[in-house]
Amino acid sequence: MGVDAKKGEPVRLWCKGAILGYKRAKKNQTNNTSLIKIDGVNERSAVDFYLGKRLAYIYKAKREVDGTRFRVIWGKVCRPHGNSGVVRAKFRKNLPPKSIGGRVRVMLYPSRI
Amino acid sequence: FVSRSKKCSRTGASTMRSPASLTNPRYRRYNVTKAGARPKAAKPEAPGPVTKTIGGPKNGGKRVVEPKGPKFYPADDEKKPKFVRTKAKEYTSSKVAKLRGSITPGTVLILLSGRFRGKRVVFLKQLEKSGLLLVTGPFKVNGVPLRRVNQAYVIATSTKVDVSSLGTDLAAFDDAYFAREKSKSSKKPGEEFFQEKAEKAPIDPKRVADQKRIDDKLMPVISTKANLKEYLSARFSLSKGQRVHDMKF
């Protein structure tokens, strides 16, 4: 959640998402697909808006790269998962296991409205 | 093969469910025989019946002879030309992104990304060559200059501003106007290192003049509508508990 430096206005143009884990059955998991729970999305019918939206998993590292210690793994919402609004996502690089339970930003682009 | 008939638990009567390929919009089928098909090689016209003259006094003189059928019939069915969606008419007719129905000249758009994210801007026109949208703050109102923006990074609201007063002014703006200027590049990497850092180039006065010209025409239109100026100067932001998928823009 950012705040505009000059005016102090809140600017959040992304939805909050939680990383639930990888697509999996009981004892096998598919690491290239993660499951994301988007805040406020509790039905499969509501997921249609978010399909295709870009996802950003942001994490910090010790070494500065390109002037910042923050790093991103970009991904996309692929399809719904189940009936309760959970969503499957694929990232450019698979999400690291320590991200489970962590925050992912669901951007509002590419926009279709 | 999975049986797709569903049995009613009460009566035991079974109903066939149509396969997913017919009902699920994901398996949209495109009309195979129409625009996307590669043109078939023209078949040579099949020869019609031939009238032949035959000799002999009692044979009637002429006979109509049907041509013999082909000597060879292929064992498999004739192959249909593959449907190439990218060659279909709807894709080749215009090379530029199709403008969403919700975006018309004068629509207020919300920018989703980039330096001006969250700002509400006025849409002016779609540029011909690149398909990008030409928008303006107006600059006086929210600091967004005449700028290009990709449709995908924009939410169209239902608020509209009357931009008919701009008319021919917009014709001056095209992709070449916004093209990045090619900076004089120094070939030697060592030389670059020792050069002083280039000063930030001052804003082209032509741009300033164009901006003023457009904005001066838009401002009276914006001032007439109640709260529109405040609306355009405020930023869009999400807050706790808001569900974007339920929002009406």
Instruction: Look at residue B166 in the predicted model and tell me its pLDDT.
Output: 81
**Looking at chain A from residue 45 to 64, which residues have their Cβ under 8 Å from any Cβ of chain B?**
46-50
Q: Tell me the residues of chain A between 63 and 102 that have a Cβ less than 8 Å away from chain B.
A: none
Q: Give the model confidence (pLDDT) of B205-218 as tens digits.
A: 888 888 888 888 88
pLDDT at A22 over 90: yes
Residue B25 in contact with partner chain A when CB distance is under 8 A = no
- pLDDT > 90: percent of chain A: 87
Q: What pTM was estimated for this model as a whole?
A: 0.70
Residue pLDDT, tens place only, A54-108: 999 999 999 999 999 999 999 999 999 999 999 999 999 999 999 999 999 999 9
ipTM above 0.90, yes or no: no
- B196 touching A, CB under 8 A? no
* DSSP states of B116-151: TTTBEEEEEEE-TTT-PEEEE--HHHHS--SEEE-G
* pLDDT value of residue B158: 93
Mean pLDDT, residues B43-51 taken together: 73
Query: In chain A, what's the furthest Cα-to-Cα distance?
Result: 51
Q: Is A15 on the interface with B (CB under 8 A)?
A: yes
Which residues on adjacent β-strands are paired with residue A95?
A: none
Lowest-pLDDT choice from A18-27, A70-79, A94-103, B219-228: B219-228
In this predicted structure, the answer to whether residue A49 has a pLDDT above a threshold of 70 is: yes
Cβ-Cβ contacts under 8 Å for B84 (sequence gap 6 or more): B36, B38
Dist. CA B38–CA B200, nearest whole Å: 54
Q: What is the pLDDT of residue B185?
A: 57
3-class DSSP assignment, residue A102: coil
Report yes or no: A22 at the B interface, CB cutoff 8 Å.
no
Going by pLDDT thresholds of 50, 70 and 90, the confidence category of residue B10 is: low
